[in-house]
Amino acid sequence: MRAALETASAFVTATRMARPGLSRAAFDHWQHRMLRRWLARDVRGVRAYQGGATELQDLPIRDKATLMADFAAYNRAGISADQAWQAIGDTCRIGDFTVGASTGTSGNRGVFVISEPERYRWLGTVLAKTMGGLWGRRQRVAIILPQDTRLYDSARSLPLMQLRFFDLRSGPENWRTELEAFDPSVLIAPPKLLRHVAQQQFRLRPQRIFSAAETLDPMDRSVIETCFGQALEQIYMATEGLLAVTCRQGGLHLAEESMFFEFEPAGNGLVNPVISSFRRQTQILARYRMNDLLRLAERPCACGSPLRLVEEVVGRVDDCFHLTGAAGPVFLTPDVLRNAILDSDRRITDFRLIQVAVDEIELRLTTDLPDEAAQAAATAVDQLLACRQATCRITQKRATLTFDPSRKLRRVECRLGPDMRWAAR
């Protein structure tokens, strides 16, 4: 009963606060009230914030390193990172709490802890944001993600939909038949899997398709949209929670009904979000700096929602390139590098660009790509570096860029150690 109530109440809040015609001023007023209540009631309940604060701005900015260094200080249950990792390897449960981990590379993974009511609140919010226009008929929702958490288990029993989970890491060859037999009306998966499904011609006919859990690159979007003959929608979520979801007009709106966003400039018109998750009571994320890079939209969305629009989730701060040049350090964001390659020749549909040393970048292209297209890509990167006065050599490699379900796809990747990153905070 409690579960249904929490789900329904979160559903109503998410729908109400995103409704067309609600003014931004009215939304801000409501959000400020929620923030104040959270600061007074929940934030001071964890050891890290025992002194409390009346205004959010009085709290320091935190990041993954500070959080993981003393995880127990930031959650009401006092669960340490070691305890959380132990439970993740086992049942993902500690008492009444659920723990989970992000799918990042080892050593860089974050953990989270949530209570049962929070799990249902999360579900209500996700449903409100993704199921618009689909009510009335029982939906079959297929979620294909690395199953690191029991977060999604809560929905299996809902009367309005049938949910089925497919473990990305075990590989599609293990569940392709089951997925096709399930015949999902809604498909949620990382873009690399959706592209694989499209190219391998899985027999599926979903009404709605959501890209989730990884950065969505334009060439994946076009392959997926062309194959399924419909617009691809997006769910932007992380260990830190649900951050943004596309509306029916295709605008990617921040989940401001559960999170307060501050933005730090990250260069090249991009921002680095600092979030305060004011609906969460177990683990406190207050002024928490994410590792993501966003480009915010300048225009409002045609749907009329007061929630802010994101033009693009560009990638991760960790994947920015740190180069040197005659005029000093050169910092390049993943989107600029990606666009230089994609714009150089239309035949390029996949690539990897990896910074392997301070003065060396490796460009990997598929074996079937014509030589002149490969040369165009290398020239484009070279020109970009010259334009920014960076001193760096580009090594070209040809490889079969295979679909790897076991790791997160990052086409632009920086493999420098933390001490080599001059721009590291």
The residues that touch Zn ion, with contacts defined as CB under 5 A, are 247, 249, 251, 301, 303, 305
Q: Whose Cβ is closer to Zn ion: residue 20's or residue 218's?
A: 20
CB of 370 to Zn ion, least distance (A): 40
* Least spacing, CB of residue 10 vs Zn ion, in Å: 20
Nearer to Zn ion by C-beta: 259 or 301? 301
300 Cβ contact list (under 8 Å, min separation 6): 309
Which H/E stretch holds residue 321?
strand 321-325
Listed residue (181, 226, 229, 190) closest to 208, CA to CA: 229
Smallest gap from Cβ 247 to Zn ion, in A, equals 3
Coil/strand/helix, residue 234:
strand
Return the number of the residue (129 or 338) whose C-beta is nearest Zn ion: 129
Rounded to an integer, what distance in angstroms lies between the CA atom of residue 355 and that of residue 414? 5
Residue pair 231/250 in contact (Cβ under 8 Å)? The answer is yes
Taking residue 69's Cβ as centre, other Cβ atoms within 10 Å add up to: 10
The CB density around residue 122, as the number of other CB atoms within 10 Å, is 23
* Closer by beta carbon to Zn ion, 19 or else 205: 19
CA atoms of 296 and 253, how far apart (whole Å) = 10
Supply the minimum distance, in Å, between the C-beta of residue 195 and Zn ion: 25
Which residue, 256 or 318, has its beta carbon nearer to Zn ion?
A: 256
User: Smallest distance, Å, CB 253 to Zn ion?
Assistant: 6
Q: Which residues pair with 144 in a beta bridge?
A: 166
In this complex, which beta carbon is closest to Zn ion, that of residue 35 or of residue 231?
231
**381-400: b (≥16 Cβ within 10 Å) or e:** bbebbeebebebeeeeeeee
The nearer residue to Zn ion, 247 or 380, going by C-beta atoms, is 247
Intra-chain end-to-end CA distance of the chain, in Å: 46
Query: What is the amino acid identity at position 298?
Result: E
Structure tokens at 162: 């049938």
Residue 365 pairs in a beta bridge with 351, 398
**What is the nearest approach in angstroms of Zn ion to the Cβ of residue 296?**
14
Helix (H) or strand (E) holding 396: strand 393-399
Amino acid identity at 386: A
Is the Cβ of residue 244 or residue 270 nearer to Zn ion in the bound state? 244
Q: Which candidate, 282, 315, 319, places its Cα nearest to that of 115? A: 282
* Nearer Cβ to Zn ion (277/305): 305
| Tokens read off for 304 | 């009329």
Closest separation in Å from C-beta 302 to Zn ion: 6
Nearest to 303 by CA among 132, 417, 166: 132
Smallest distance, Å, CB 301 to Zn ion? 3
For the bound state, the minimum distance from the C-beta of residue 348 to Zn ion, rounded and expressed in Å, comes to 31
